[in-house]
Structures are given as structure tokens and as C-alpha cells.
Amino acid sequence: MTENTNRAPLTERVSGPRVVVAVYLAVLGVAGTMGALLGYVNPEGMDPELFFLIDLPATPLGMATFGVVTVGVGLGVLLLAVRYVSRFDEDRIE
């Protein structure tokens, strides 16, 4: 076998920010899928409102949109806050 010296080591390919983004996108995918399934089942009284301002239809697309946007904004704000606060950590590993 020959060595592949052009390839980055595994620790560089699977670094912290990449893992966080991958998990974030996976959670958004799950939120969209669950929203679409709930929209397909369409239980009574399910009228999603995006940020209490925009009425969305209780269809699979409307529920998936509600799930992705709500979870995306909620987790996105938390991740941005962690990123901002971590800039001031003197013991962080770069």
C-alpha cells in the first residue's frame, strides 16, 4: 500500500467547528422531517405561527418550515452566543 501524504489527518478533518455545524444541520433535518410528519398527520388545533407574527398553514410544508426556522433560530442564537463568549476564554485550544 502506498501512503497518501496529501490527505489531512483525521483530527484536522473532524475539528470542533465542523462537528458543530454537522450536528446543527442534522438537528435541522430532524426538525424539518418531524414538522412534515406532523403536518401530514394534521392533528386538530395545530395552527403554527412563526414568531407569533406569521400564520403558516397546517400542511406538511408549513409545519416543516415552522420546525426548521424555529429550531434553526433558537439553536443559531445559542451557538453564536457560545462563539462570542469563547473569544474571551484565555485557556481555549486553537
pLDDT at 87: 80
Q: What is the pLDDT along the chain (94 residues), one digit of tens a residue?
A: 566 667 766 666 667 778 888 899 999 999 999 999 988 888 777 888 888 888 888 888 989 998 999 999 999 999 999 888 888 777 766 6
pTM of the entire structure?
Answer: 0.74
Name the 3-class secondary structure at 7: coil
Query: Going by C-beta distance under 8 Å and a sequence separation of 6 or more, which residues neighbour residue 26?
Result: none
